[in-house]
């Protein structure tokens, strides 16, 4: 017998054995194009969670790391502390004042132990504000001659005077 004929015949016998071993409903389904039941089922991975407004704010603020401090600045060419916060949330559709003390009147108070990323943290008698990013750190635009940076809350010379949750 030619070699190709042997291989074809062997393949046909294998397929026939598979159909003979399958239950009647599965054989009919396979012949008609229905699905074959299988012990292995493919499960789609869960959809990634949509980021919250606070998470988007932290991500957007991180993109501004290294931008120089500019008194009264509220754009990626230069920020002051409240300008950074108001610009970040403004890009996300939330209009906030460009003044640290005025920002303290927005949202609701949050105890330091309950801070979440996106919360506003205030210092220096409401003269400075930063955006909390988690793990005891914030992003802020410190002062003239410096750039937007991440800083640990505990590394400041004075503790926070308060915090607010705006979303």
Which residues form the catalytic set?
81, 128, 140
Q: Is the dihedral of CA 84, 88, 91, 97 positive or negative?
A: negative
C-alpha to C-alpha distance for 28 and 19, rounded to whole angstroms: 9
Distance between CA 110 and CA 64 in Å, rounded? 25
Q: Residue 106: helix, strand or coil by DSSP? A: coil
Six-digit token string for 79: 């920020």
Report yes or no: 71 and 141 within 8 Å, Cβ to Cβ.
no
């Amino acid at each position: 017998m030619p070699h190709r004929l042997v291989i074809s015949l062997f393949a046909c016998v294998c397929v026939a054995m598979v159909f003979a071993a399958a239950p009647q409903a599965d054989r009919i389904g396979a012949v008609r194009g229905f699905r074959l039941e299988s012990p292995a089922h493919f499960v789609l991975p869960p959809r990634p969670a949509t980021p919250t407004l606070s998470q988007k704010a932290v991500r957007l603020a991180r993109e501004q790391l290294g931008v120089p401090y500019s008194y009264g600045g509220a754009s990626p060419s230069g920020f002051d502390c409240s300008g950074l916060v108001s610009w970040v949330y403004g890009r996300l559709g939330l209009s906030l004042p460009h003044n640290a003390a005025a920002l303290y009147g927005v949202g609701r108070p949050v105890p330091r132990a309950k801070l979440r990323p996106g919360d506003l943290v205030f210092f220096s008698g409401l003269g400075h504000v930063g955006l909390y990013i988690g793990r005891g750190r914030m992003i802020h635009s410190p002062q003239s001659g410096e750039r937007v940076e991440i800083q640990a809350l505990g590394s400041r010379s004075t503790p926070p005077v308060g915090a607010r949750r705006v979303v």
